[in-house]
C-alpha cells in the first residue's frame, strides 16, 4: 500500500476519533469550558497534561535538534523535565487551592489589581501565541509531506482541526481528547524507535541501544553508538557529538529559563485547575512525570541514531574517496519526498553528480575538500524538524511505521495547540472581557466570546506558524523564556511572599516583559537582519535568545522587590489569604475560595 494513502488513512482515523470525543464531551457551562468542570481524575489529568506537554517540539523537533546539536541540545531535556519538579513543589497545589479558573485571574485576585490581571493577560497571549506558532508549523510540516500539500495548506488544515476541537468542546473536550492523543503519541514514538534501535545495534530497547555497540554495516561497526557517531562526524569536519560548544554561562541560562518557564506555563498550570482537589493536583504531577518519562528517555537515543543513520547514508565510505559520496541520481525515495517540501535542499556545486556532505567551515576539511575538487557542503538545507518524520524511511522501516509516526506527530501538535488556544481564549474572554471590561457578562455570552476568542487565537497562531523564527523546539524555547521572565516571579511571590504588593509585581512584570521581548526582537526578529550571520557575537554576556529569559526573570524579581519596599504593603486581609494558601487543612475541611470565584 502506498505510504501517502496509508498515512492518510491512519491520520484520518485518529482525527475522526479526536473530533468524536470533542463533540461528545462538549462544554455545557463556563467551568466546563475553562477547567473541565474541575472533575478530571488525577490519572487522566496526568495523561492529558503529558499530551499537553509533549508537543510538536517534543515529538517532531527535539530529537532533530539533539541530532544536530549534540551535547549542547541536552539543555532542552534537562530544563524541560527539571521544570516539573519546580511545578510540583512551588505552584501546582497552591494554585489549585485558591480555586481560580486561570493564571491571570489568580494574579488579579492575589494582588487585588485589575492592572496586574490585564498585564498577565498580555503575557499569557505572548507566551501561548509563540508556543502555538511552533505547533502550527509542526502540524503543517506533517501534512505537507504526507498529504502532498504545501506548507501553507498544511497549516490551514491544522488550524481547522484545532478550531473544531477547542472551539466546540472547550477544556472538557480538550482534556479527554488529549488522553487519546497521549496514547497515540507514545506508541507512535516508541515503536519506530525500537525498530531503529534493533536495526542499528540489535537491541530493541532505545534506552539501552543508546549505550550499545553498532552492529549494522558501516564506518561505525563494532563501536559504541556515541563513539561511532563522534568518529563519523569528526571525519567530516564537524564537532564531536558529545563535546560541548556553548559557553557554560549560556548552558546554565538556557536550562534555568526552561525550568522556570516550565513551572509557569499557563497551559500547563491550568491543567491543575481541572482536578477535584489539591491532593489530586499533586498526584497529577506525579503521573505526568511518569508519562513524560516514557518518551523523554527515548528522545536522546532517537536523536543519536537518526544522525548516525543520515550521515552514513550520504557518506558511504572513507572521506578520502570521492566515490563514497551518495550519487544524486541514486538518492533514495525518502530524499526525493522531502526535497519536494523544500525542507531538504541539495545543490550540486561541482557538477560531479554526487552529494558532498561535510563541514565547509572547518579549515582542515576545506583543504581536504579542495584537494578532492569539492566546492562546499552540497546538503545546503536539512530542517531539524523533518528528521524524526523521515527516520522510518531513512532506516527502511515498514510503511505502516511511517504512517504511525505521522499520526503521532499530528496528535502531539494538535494536543498542545488545543491547550494553548484554550488558555488564550480564556485570557481574552474570562480575564479581559468579563474580568476587566464587562463584569456583568452572562455565562452564555462569555462562552460565545470564548469561542470567538478561540477562532482569533487559531488565526493568529497559524499566521505566526507559517514563518516561525527557528526550528519548532527553538521557537518553543523562546516561549519558555517569555514565561520565565514575566509570569514565574509573579506566581512565586503570589504564593510565598504575602508582603509583595501590586505596585511591585506590575513594575517587575513590565520590566521583564519589555527586556525579554526587546531582546528576542533584536536577535530573532528583523532588527539584526544585516548581522544575522554573526548575531551570536552581539549576545549579552554570550547568552542566547533561548536563555535570555533567565536574565529577564532576575530583572523582574529585582525590580519587584525594590518597588515593593518603596510602596505601601498589601492589606492585612489579603496577606492572610496568601498565608492560608500554604496552611494545611484537616481532611474533609473545605478550602476557602477567593473573592470573585464562581
Cα distance between residue 67 and residue 241, in whole Å: 8
Indicate whether 172 pLDDT > 90. Answer: no
In DSSP terms, 213 is beta-bridged to: 224
Query: If we measure between CA atoms, which residue out of 554, 522, 552, 526 comes closest to residue 539?
Result: 522
**What does the pLDDT look like over 54-63, one tens digit per residue?**
776 677 778 8
Burial group, residue 55, by CB count within 10 angstroms (0-12, 13-18, 19+) = buried
Domain 3-302+393-477 has CATH 1.10.10: no
**CA 386 to CA 407: how far, in whole Å?**
14
Arithmetic mean of pLDDT, 13-18: 73
pLDDT of 536-546, one tens digit each? Answer: 777 888 888 88
Whether residue 267 is predicted with pLDDT greater than 80 in this model: the reply is no
Region 292-317 average pLDDT? 86
pLDDT tens track for 429-451: 766 666 666 666 666 666 666 66
| Higher per-residue confidence, 397 vs 442 | 397
Q: Mean of the pLDDT values across residues 31-60?
A: 72
Q: How confident is the model at residue 565 (pLDDT cuts 50, 70, 90)?
A: very high
Return the closest-CA partner of residue 384 out of 128, 57, 81: 57
Residues 6+ apart with CB under 8 A from 128: 266, 267, 420, 421, 423, 424, 427, 457, 479
**Residue 21 confidence (pLDDT) above 80:** no
pLDDT for residue 469: 57
Q: What is the pLDDT of residues 115-161, one digit of tens each?
A: 888 888 888 888 887 777 777 777 777 777 666 677 778 777 777 77
Residues 6+ positions from 109 with CB-CB distance below 8 Å: 98, 100, 594, 595, 596, 597
- Average pLDDT, integer, range 464-493: 79
Angstrom distance (rounded) from CA 242 to CA 212: 16
Mean pLDDT calculated for residue range 247-263? 90
Contact yes or no for 34/427 (Cβ under 8 A): no
Mean pLDDT calculated for residue range 229-249: 89
Question: What mean pLDDT comes out for the span 571-589?
Answer: 70
From the list 61, 4, 2, 64, the residue with the least C-alpha distance to 310 is 64
Higher-pLDDT residue of 285 and 467 is 285
Look-up of cell digits 576539511:
365
The mean per-residue pLDDT over the stretch 454-476 comes to 68
Q: 257 vs 527, which has greater pLDDT?
A: 257
DSSP-derived letter for residue 324 is: G
Domain boundaries, the chain: 3-302+393-477, 307-388
Q: What is the mean pLDDT of the chain?
A: 79
More confident residue, 372 or 58: 372
Give the residue, 385 or 72, on which the prediction is more confident: 72
pLDDT surpasses 90 at 575: no
pLDDT for the residue 77: 84
Please report the pLDDT score of residue 473 as a whole number.
60
Round to whole Å and give the CA distance between 57 and 65. 9
| pLDDT value of residue 385 | 77
Q: Return the pLDDT at 564.
A: 94
Lowest-confidence pick of 208-217, 437-446, 486-495, 500-509: 437-446
Read off the pLDDT band of 514 (50, 70, 90): very high
Other beta carbons within 10 Å of 455: 16
The Cβ-side half-sphere exposure at 543, using a 13 Å CA radius, reads: 21
What's the pLDDT at 592? 47
Work out the average pLDDT over 311-321.
Answer: 76
Report, as an integer, the average pLDDT of 455-474.
Answer: 67
For residue 240, pLDDT over 50 is answered with yes
- Residue 262 reports pLDDT greater than 90: no
Amino acid at each position: 500500500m502506498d505510504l501517502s494513502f496509508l498515512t492518510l488513512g491512519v491520520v484520518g482515523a485518529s482525527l475522526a476519533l479526536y473530533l468524536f470525543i470533542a463533540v461528545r464531551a462538549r462544554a455545557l457551562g463556563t467551568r466546563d469550558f475553562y477547567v473541565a468542570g474541575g472533575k478530571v481524575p488525577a490519572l487522566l489529568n496526568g495523561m492529558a497534561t503529558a499530551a499537553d506537554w509533549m508537543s510538536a517540539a517534543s515529538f517532531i523537533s527535539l530529537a532533530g535538534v539533539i541530532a544536530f546539536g549534540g551535547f549542547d541540545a541536552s539543555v532542552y531535556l534537562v530544563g524541560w523535565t527539571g521544570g516539573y519538579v519546580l511545578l510540583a513543589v512551588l505552584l501546582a497545589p497552591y494554585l489549585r487551592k485558591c480555586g481560580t479558573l486561570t493564571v491571570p485571574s489568580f494574579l488579579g485576585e492575589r494582588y487585588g489589581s485589575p492592572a496586574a490581571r490585564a498585564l498577565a493577560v498580555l503575557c499569557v497571549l505572548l507566551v501561548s501565541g509563540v508556543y502555538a506558532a511552533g505547533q502550527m508549523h509542526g502540524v503543517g510540516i506533517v501534512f505537507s509531506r504526507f498529504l502532498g500539500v504545501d506548507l501553507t495548506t498544511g497549516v490551514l488544515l491544522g488550524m481547522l482541526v484545532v478550531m473544531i476541537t477547542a472551539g466546540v468542546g472547550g477544556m472538557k473536550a480538550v482534556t479527554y481528547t488529549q488522553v487519546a492523543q497521549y496514547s497515540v503519541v507514545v506508541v507512535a514514538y516508541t515503536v519506530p524507535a525500537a525498530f531503529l534501535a534493533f536495526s542499528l545495534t540489535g537491541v530493541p530497547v532505545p534506552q539501552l541501544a543508546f549505550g550499545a555497540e553498532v552492529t549494522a554495516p558501516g564506518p561505525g561497526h563494532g563501536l559504541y553508538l556515541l563513539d561511532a557517531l563522534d568518529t563519523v562526524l569528526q571525519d567530516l569536519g564537524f564537532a564531536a557529538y558529545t563535546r560541548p560548544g556553548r559557553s557554560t554561562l549560556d548552558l546554565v541560562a538556557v536550562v534555568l529559563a526552561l525550568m522556570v518557564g516550565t513551572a509557569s506555563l499557563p497551559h500547563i498550570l491550568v491543567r491543575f485547575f481541572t482536578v477535584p482537589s489539591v491532593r489530586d493536583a499533586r498526584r497529577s504531577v506525579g503521573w505526568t512525570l511518569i508519562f513524560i518519562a516514557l518518551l523523554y528517555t527515548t528522545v536522546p537515543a532517537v536523536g543519536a541514531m537518526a544522525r548516525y543513520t543520515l550521515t552514513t547514508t550520504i557518506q558511504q565510505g572513507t572521506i578520502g574517496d570521492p566515490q563514497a559520496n551518495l550519487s544524486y541520481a541514486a538518492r533514495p525515495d525518502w530524499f526525493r519526498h522531502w526535497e519536494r517540501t523544500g525542507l531538504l535542499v541539495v545543490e550540486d556545486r561541482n557538477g560531479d553528480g554526487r552529494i558532498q556532505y561535510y563541514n565547509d567551515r572547518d579549515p582542515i576539511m576545506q583543504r581536504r575538500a579542495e584537494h578532492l575538487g569539492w566546492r562546499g557542503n552540497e546538503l545546503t538545507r536539512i530542517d531539524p524538524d523533518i528528521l524524526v518524520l523521515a527516520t522510518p524511511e531513512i532506516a527502511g522501516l515498514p510503511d505502516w511505521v511511517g504512517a504511525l509516526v505521522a499520526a503521532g506527530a499530528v496528535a502531539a501538535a494538535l494536543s498542545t495547540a488545543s491547550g494553548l488556544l484554550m488558555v488564550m481564549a480564556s485570557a481574552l474572554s474570562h480575564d479581559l472581557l468579563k474580568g476587566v471590561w464587562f463584569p456583568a457578562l452572562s455565562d452564555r455570552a462569555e462562552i460565545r466570546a470564548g469561542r470567538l476568542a478561540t477562532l482569533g487565537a487559531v488565526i493568529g497562531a497559524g499566521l505566526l506558524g507559517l514563518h516561525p523564527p527557528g526550528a519548532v523546539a527553538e521557537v518553543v524555547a523562546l516561549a519558555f523564556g517569555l514565561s520565565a521572565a514575566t509570569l514565574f516571579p509573579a506566581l512565586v511571590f503570589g504564593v510565598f511572599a504575602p508582603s509583595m504588593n501590586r505596585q511591585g509585581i506590575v513594575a517587575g512584570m513590565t520590566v521583564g516583559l519589555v527586556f525579554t521581548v526587546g531582546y528576542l526582537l533584536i536577535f530573532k526578529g528583523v532588527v539584526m537582519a544585516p548581522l544575522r550571520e554573526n548575531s551570536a557575537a552581539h549576545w549579552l554576556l554570550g547568552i542566547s535568545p533561548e536563555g535570555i529569559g533567565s536574565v529577564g526573570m532576575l530583572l523582574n524579581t529585582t525590580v519587584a522587590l525594590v518597588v515593593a519596599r518603596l510602596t505601601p504593603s498589601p492589606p492585612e486581609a489579603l496577606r492572610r489569604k496568601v498565608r492560608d494558601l500554604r496552611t494545611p487543612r484537616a481532611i474533609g475541611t473545605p478550602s476557602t475560595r477567593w473573592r470573585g470565584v464562581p
